[in-house]
């Protein structure tokens, strides 16, 4: 495979970009080698600057659920671009998209659009504290909620990929009110509640997509909802990754729970920078200009992003690809397990709707500690094996793969063939 231009751009990019990237996971540190530089995308495919074609299972880490270049989304975006990029004033499309989101999530009467998932969650922290009058927040080890100071501890994904336990520049005072519990361990939550009467909110990814698609047990997630409600603690569900991904709506409905505050991003913006947080009236009316909790943004509700979001959600509702996602994910899981078995590789696979991830371990992965026990050297060999066979997955053992609605039968055959070839490469390394 020729990666000459990607290597040249990586070397050139290091002069004025930090590590030649604008997000750490793009640096390929955990898988070695030089990062790929992409040039264009269409449908289920993405193409690098050297002309190599890949079936895209990164999908910008989730938002391109319709694939790249959906005609209706392009039409909506082009129409808005010709009308105006940004006004610093309200537009009708903000009202339209807000209605679509609130109608979909039970318990959400009002929503505030922001510019990223990180911004949505940090705003939710402030809102939870304002509403409850309490200061502590509780999160789960391995759940990532963006790079705001208070939640950048035990945060999975990028931090795990780089083996960084936290972050320089985050003072201990910034996290002194942050409590850490173990995912799928309700006793660890109860212990914090018993010991601290100042908890404003519990933050959780309903499906932990930043330690590699880890699902909560039914007992854990439902008891979490019960005990937070009994203690007067808000449950904040971070659906930045899962919102509209595995059903039209969120993971909450599939899990049988309802958040006090829901955070959204990725799919809701159709590939443009959008985040959102929403809740019932009594909570959201704490937000300025109705209440005393201040939060603002010059580009919040950007008209181009709103047009993309409306068109994406409308098309998703029409296509209703969720049964197809489940079937395709099941097929990929079967292929992964069969290829691993044929090559004597220990593997377990977790999936939820259109999200899937193989772990190079024989153990069932239910929390971050178990995820970290995976054989990352084997994953690295597997990653490059897939790349060489035209499949683009996240360059990290701890990131979810994503499916898009335009993934064809031909694409699926290529994915299965690539999995078989890549697993053989892992086996060659193991037996060498």
pLDDT at 163 over 50: no
pLDDT at 160 over 50: no
Q: What are the pLDDT digits (tens) for 333-351?
A: 999 999 999 999 999 999 9
Q: Which residue has the higher pLDDT, 345 or 147?
A: 345
Strands 275-279 and 261-265: antiparallel
H or E, element range at 179: strand 178-181
One domain, residues 31 and 54: yes
One domain, residues 408 and 368: yes
pLDDT at 430 over 70: no
One domain, residues 280 and 333: no
pLDDT at 158 over 50: no
DSSP class per residue in 205-220: -SSBTTTTSBPPPHHH
Q: Give the residue among 379, 414, 412 at the shortest CA–CA distance from 394.
A: 379
Strands 45-48 and 38-42: antiparallel
Is the sign of the CA dihedral 268, 269, 271, 275 positive or negative?
negative
DSSP class per residue in 53-119: EEEESSGGGTT-TT-BT-HHHHHHHHHHHHH-S--SS--HHHHHHHHHHHHHSTT--EEEEESSHHH
Q: What are the pLDDT digits (tens) for 189-246?
A: 999 999 999 999 999 999 999 888 999 999 999 999 999 999 999 999 999 999 999 9
Q: Is 424 annotated in the active site? A: no
Q: Which residue has the higher pLDDT, 212 or 359?
A: 359
Q: Which of 54, 61, 144, 183 is catalytic?
A: 144
For 185-221, give one letter per residue: b (16+ CB within 10 A) or e: bbebbeebbeeeeebbbbbbbbbbbbbbbbbbeeebb
Q: What are the pLDDT digits (tens) for 60-115?
A: 999 999 999 999 999 999 999 999 999 999 999 999 999 999 999 988 999 999 99
Count of domains for the chain: 2
One domain, residues 294 and 208: yes
Which structural domain range is residue 369 located in? 4-65+321-431
One domain, residues 309 and 229: yes
- Please identify, among 318, 343, 368, the residue that sits at the C-terminal boundary of a domain: 318
pLDDT level of residue 149 (50, 70, 90 thresholds) = confident
pLDDT level of residue 144 (50, 70, 90 thresholds) = confident
Q: What is the CATH number of the domain that holds 23?
A: 3.90.1150.10
pLDDT at 159 over 50: no
One domain, residues 23 and 81: no
- Please identify, among 262, 289, 318, the residue that sits at the C-terminal boundary of a domain: 318
One domain, residues 107 and 138: yes
Report, as an integer, the average pLDDT of 111-128. 96
One domain, residues 125 and 257: yes
User: What angle is formed at CA 183 by the lines to CA 181 and CA 189, rounded to 5 degrees?
Assistant: 40
One domain, residues 158 and 97: yes
One domain, residues 22 and 121: no
In whole numbers, what is the pLDDT of the chain averaged over residues?
Answer: 93
**What is each CA distance from 279 to 117, 246, 336, 412, in whole angstroms?**
16, 21, 39, 39
pTM above 0.85, yes or no: yes
Q: Is 110 annotated in the active site? A: no
* Cα separation, 64 vs 55, whole angstroms: 13
User: pLDDT exceeding 90 applies to what percent of the chain?
Assistant: 85
pLDDT at 427: 83
CB atoms within 10 A of CB 229: 13
Q: Which residue has the higher pLDDT, 424 or 156?
A: 424
Locate all alpha helices (DSSP H) within 133-216, ordered by sequence: 157-161, 172-175, 186-195
One domain, residues 243 and 122: yes
pLDDT level of residue 381 (50, 70, 90 thresholds) = very high
Query: Could you tell me the two tokens for 9?
Result: 């751009």
Q: Is 48 annotated in the active site? A: no
Q: What is the CATH number of the domain that holds 234?
A: 3.40.640.10
One domain, residues 90 and 191: yes
* Cα separation, 96 vs 314, whole angstroms: 11
pLDDT level of residue 161 (50, 70, 90 thresholds) = very low
The half-sphere exposure of 354 on its side-chain side, counting CA atoms within 13 A, is 33
- Please identify, among 318, 347, 380, the residue that sits at the C-terminal boundary of a domain: 318
Q: What are the pLDDT digits (tens) for 390-406?
A: 999 999 999 999 999 99
Residue 282's contacts (CB-CB under 8 Å, 6 or more residues apart) are none
Locate all alpha helices (DSSP H) within 146-294, ordered by sequence: 157-161, 172-175, 186-195, 218-231, 251-255, 281-284
Q: What are the pLDDT digits (tens) for 26-47?
A: 999 889 889 999 999 999 999 9
pLDDT level of residue 429 (50, 70, 90 thresholds) = low
Q: Which of 215, 247, 266, 425 is catalytic?
A: 266
Report, as an integer, the average pLDDT of 146-165. 56
pLDDT at 431: 53
Q: Which of 48, 238, 260, 411 is catalytic?
A: 238
pLDDT at 174: 75
Residue 103's contacts (CB-CB under 8 Å, 6 or more residues apart) are none
């Amino acid at each position: 495979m020729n990666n000459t231009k990607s290597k040249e751009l990586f070397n050139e990019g290091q002069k004025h970009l930090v590590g030649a990237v604008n997000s750490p996971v793009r640096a390929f540190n955990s898988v070695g080698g030089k990062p790929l530089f992409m040039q264009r995308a269409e449908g289920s495919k993405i193409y690098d600057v050297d002309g190599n074609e890949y079936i895209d299972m990164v999908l910008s880490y989730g938002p391109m659920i319709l694939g790249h270049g959906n005609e209706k989304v392009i039409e909506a975006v082009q129409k808005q671009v010709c009308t105006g990029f940004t006004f610093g004033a309200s537009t009708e499309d903000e009202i339209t998209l807000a209605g679509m989101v609130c109608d979909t999530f039970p318990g959400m009467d009002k929503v505030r659009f922001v510019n990223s998932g990180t911004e949505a969650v940090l705003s939710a922290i402030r809102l939870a504290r304002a509403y409850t009058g309490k200061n502590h927040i509780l999160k789960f080890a391995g759940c990532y909620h963006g790079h705001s100071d208070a939640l950048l501890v035990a945060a999975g994904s990028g931090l795990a990929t780089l083996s960084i336990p936290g972050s320089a520049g985050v003072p201990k005072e910034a996290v002194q009110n942050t409590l850490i519990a173990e995912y799928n361990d309700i006793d660890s939550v109860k212990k914090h509640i018993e010991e601290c009467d100042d908890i404003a909110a519990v933050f959780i990814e309903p499906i932990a997509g930043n330690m590699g698609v880890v699902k909560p047990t039914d007992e854990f997630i439902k008891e979490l909802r019960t005990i937070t409600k009994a203690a007067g603690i808000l449950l904040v569900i971070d659906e930045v990754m899962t919102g509209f991904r595995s059903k039209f709506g969120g993971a909450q409905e599939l899990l049988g729970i309802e958040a006090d505050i829901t955070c959204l991003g990725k799919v809701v913006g159709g590939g443009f920078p959008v985040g959102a947080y929403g809740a019932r009236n009594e909570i959201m009316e704490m937000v300025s200009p109705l209440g005393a909790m201040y939060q603002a943004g010059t580009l919040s509700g950007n008209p181009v992003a709103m047009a993309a979001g409306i068109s994406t959600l409308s098309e998703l509702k029409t296509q209703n690809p969720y049964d197809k996602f489940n079937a395709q994910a099941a097929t990929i899981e079967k292929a992964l397990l069969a290829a691993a078995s044929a090559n004597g590789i220990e593997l377990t696979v977790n999936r939820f709707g259109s999200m899937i991830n193989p772990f190079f371990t024989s153990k069932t992965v239910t929390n971050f500690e178990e995820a970290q026990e995976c054989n990352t050297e084997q994953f690295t060999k597997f990653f490059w094996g897939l790349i060489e066979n035209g499949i683009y997955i996240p360059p990290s053992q701890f990131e979810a793969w994503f499916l898009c609605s335009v993934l064809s039968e031909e694409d699926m055959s290529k994915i299965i063939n690539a999995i078989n070839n890549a697993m053989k490469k892992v086996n060659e390394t193991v037996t060498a």
